[in-house]
Amino acid sequence: MNEQVEARLAQARAWLRQDPDAATRDELAGIITRAASGDGPAIADLDDRFGTRLAFGTAGLRGALGAGSNRMNRVLIAQAAAGFAAYLREHVRGSAPTVVVGYDGRRNSRRFALDSAELFAGAGLRTILLPRLLPTPVLAFAVRHFGADAGVMVTASHNPPDDNGYKVYLGGADAGSQIVAPADAEIASHISHVADSGDISSLPRSTAYETADEEVLSAYIRATAAVAPAPESAKSLSWVYTAMHGVGWETFSRILRTAGYPQPKTVKEQLSPDPRFPTVSFPNPEEPGAMDLAFAAATRTRADFIIANDPDADRLAVAIPDDSVEGGWRRLSGNEVGLLLGARAARGAEGTPGASLACSLVSSPGLGAIAAHHGLDFHETLTGFKWISRAPGMVFGFEEALGYLVNPETVRDKDGISAAIAVLGLAAEAHERGDSLATLVAELGDVYGHFASGQVSVRVDDLAIIDKIMLALRTLPPTRIGEKTVRSAEDLLQAAPGQPAGDVLRYSLSDGSRVIVRPSGTEPKLKVYIDAQADSAESARRAVADLETGVQELLDERS
């Protein structure tokens, strides 16, 4: 057996000795036994599990459950919690830092949260554990509610069933936003130090953490219900809701009662938390088929519209009746919902000095047109709510991937529940005058201009394919995309001094359209975003469709 395999086996055995989880110990022990006997697939499996570590970045940690440094497990969580505790002790002066811990309904979420709470408490931090599994926005709210220095949410949001994750927030001057550079690198350095120091069993633990009472949830419910209290016309709304096997329903249903909205018809098969996500192949409302049960329920009940949350309820999907599509229902794009909510916020903030709208650079430029129309500032940020939430004067922010921040005074992150309440408010107002959400979407074009968006995504098994395509585009930038000439090209890795950099390529085309290429931050995907503006909705849609074909041809050439 060669030295490399022996070294990998030694690494795996050292990991095995410190693993407190019987399931992952058994899993790893079997792989070690097979690898030690020379089994090729087992050796390759060890290389995959231990050849690297799950990287801690501005999205925290996220990956598949399993044994090894390149998986989500109790050893990795312990290292992360101890490293984050060291970072907080270093940066918070005066009294002991306070950290809030929350978790969703995924496999091992509660166990990872308990480990984190015990390790934070053992490190001398005041630690507050949320009372049970709850939506991610409740954790983001709780950081500010308790005046905490930090928060941790154990969730993988809308990732596949076998994934989990560790999302980190900072309080104080960061106001409950997700971490950004350089905090991510500093936390990662502390985690690496813990991992290099040896066995996690030597880390101090304590059960002297607090468990929050129900008041934190009640406070979130009150604040969110106040986003759009129901008008009288809301009583006759007919709609369908799905929680996508996640944790949104209990909290959302209580907010509906508080705000005065009728309870919806529900997709019962998807209403309660279930980490197996048995009715969907991928628990993301954007994915084909994910909302099919909701479409069927809405057809049966003749609903006016559908609202869906993703599993941790930080995202929102909305669907409306549309006879022109198969099945009779169309999910509004994230940009369409974002512009609806952006116009709502802009009308409310008009005349407020310094008020602004914000969206990520891959989201519809229509939000900028809305801001200009109402005399508001506009900020275009890098992707991620860690950037959107920090936009000066922001009264509303969104990202096309179904993320909306409608209540920045209470939650500085995307919040699919408060966004749903805002949508219900719009639906009720439209209903009162005999209109619908579809009418509101059409009216956006009449008032602010006709914008259309599209997306081409390439899902890969090997992330090196994405690196290859991005390198090819940088090495030989395209001069045309489809029939349109590329007027200018920007590489955001080459950011101006003082500006955040990103692995993003942006092309402005001769007709005013734009194409943006970037790797996904949470999934093994290359994403291409297309935006066009025209004098009619149909012309804008045709321009996007033509560019989608051109983009696909370009990717085929460079892959």
Whole-angstrom distance, CA of residue 432 vs CA of residue 304? 13
Residue 221 forms part of a structural domain: no
Amino acid 122: pLDDT:
98
Last residue of a domain, one of 415, 448, 481: 448
Amino acid 523: pLDDT:
75
Contact assessment for residue 452 and residue 444, using Cβ atoms and an 8 Å cutoff: no
Secondary structure of 428-455 as H, E, C letters:
HHHHHCCCCHHHHHHHHHHHHCEEEEEE
**Strand ranges (E), 125-271:** 126-129, 150-154, 163-170, 177-178, 210-211, 239-242, 265-266
Q: What is the number of structural domains in the chain?
A: 4
Beta partners for residue 309, in sequence order: 316
Residue 225 forms part of a structural domain: no
Tell me: do 256 and 116 sit in the same domain. Answer: no
Tell me: do 462 and 428 sit in the same domain. Answer: no
Tell me: do 508 and 411 sit in the same domain. Answer: no
Tell me: do 410 and 486 sit in the same domain. Answer: no
Residue carrying structure tokens 């709470």? 117
Contact assessment for residue 233 and residue 429, using Cβ atoms and an 8 Å cutoff: yes
Tell me: do 363 and 331 sit in the same domain. Answer: yes
Residue carrying structure tokens 């585009």? 473
Last residue of a domain, one of 448, 481, 501: 448
End-to-end CA, the chain: 37
Contact assessment for residue 269 and residue 240, using Cβ atoms and an 8 Å cutoff: no
Nearest to 110 by CA among 72, 154, 71, 57: 154
Residue 249 forms part of a structural domain: yes
Over its length of 559 residues, how does the chain's per-residue pLDDT go in tens digits? 688 899 999 999 999 999 999 999 999 999 999 999 999 999 999 999 999 999 988 779 999 999 999 999 999 999 999 999 999 999 998 889 999 999 999 999 999 999 999 999 999 999 999 999 999 999 999 999 999 999 999 999 999 999 999 999 999 999 999 999 899 999 999 999 999 988 999 999 999 999 999 999 999 999 999 999 999 989 999 999 999 999 999 999 999 999 999 999 999 999 999 999 999 999 999 999 999 999 999 999 999 999 999 999 999 999 999 999 988 999 999 999 999 999 999 999 999 999 999 999 999 999 999 999 999 999 999 889 999 999 999 999 999 999 999 999 999 999 999 999 999 999 999 999 999 999 999 999 999 999 999 999 888 888 889 999 999 999 999 999 999 999 999 998 887 666 667 899 999 999 999 999 999 876 788 999 999 999 999 999 999 999 999 999 999 888 7
Cα–Cα–Cα angle for 35, 37, 40, nearest 5°?
Answer: 50
Tell me: do 22 and 92 sit in the same domain. Answer: no
Residues 6+ apart with CB under 8 A from 72: 54, 61, 62, 63, 64, 65, 66, 108, 112, 163, 164, 165, 166
- Report the SS3 class of residue 228: coil
Contact assessment for residue 291 and residue 331, using Cβ atoms and an 8 Å cutoff: yes
Q: What is the CATH number of the domain that holds 303?
A: 3.40.120.10
Amino acid 557: pLDDT:
87
Residue 485 forms part of a structural domain: yes
Whole-angstrom distance, CA of residue 220 vs CA of residue 213? 13
- Report the SS3 class of residue 457: strand
Write the CA distances from 492 to 182, 333, 382, 516, integer angstroms.
Answer: 18, 25, 9, 11
- Report the SS3 class of residue 70: coil
Amino acid 329: pLDDT:
97
Nearest to 386 by CA among 145, 191, 182: 182
Tell me: do 30 and 83 sit in the same domain. Answer: no
Amino acid 497: pLDDT:
67
Phi-psi region of 308 (alpha: psi -120 to 50; beta: other; left: phi over 0): beta
Tell me: do 9 and 130 sit in the same domain. Answer: no
Tell me: do 47 and 189 sit in the same domain. Answer: no
Amino acid 500: pLDDT:
66
Amino acid 498: pLDDT:
61
Element (H, E) at 481: strand 480-481
Tell me: do 75 and 12 sit in the same domain. Answer: no
Amino acid 488: pLDDT:
93
Tell me: do 444 and 463 sit in the same domain. Answer: no
Residue 226 forms part of a structural domain: no
Whole-angstrom distance, CA of residue 118 vs CA of residue 129? 10
- Pure H helices in 206-329: 215-225, 248-259, 292-301
Last residue of a domain, one of 213, 229, 251: 213
Residue 264 forms part of a structural domain: yes
Range of the domain at 522: 450-558
Nearest to 413 by CA among 186, 157, 93, 34: 157
Tell me: do 192 and 256 sit in the same domain. Answer: no
Nearest to 254 by CA among 417, 137, 67, 452: 417
Which sequence positions are flagged as catalytic?
A: 157
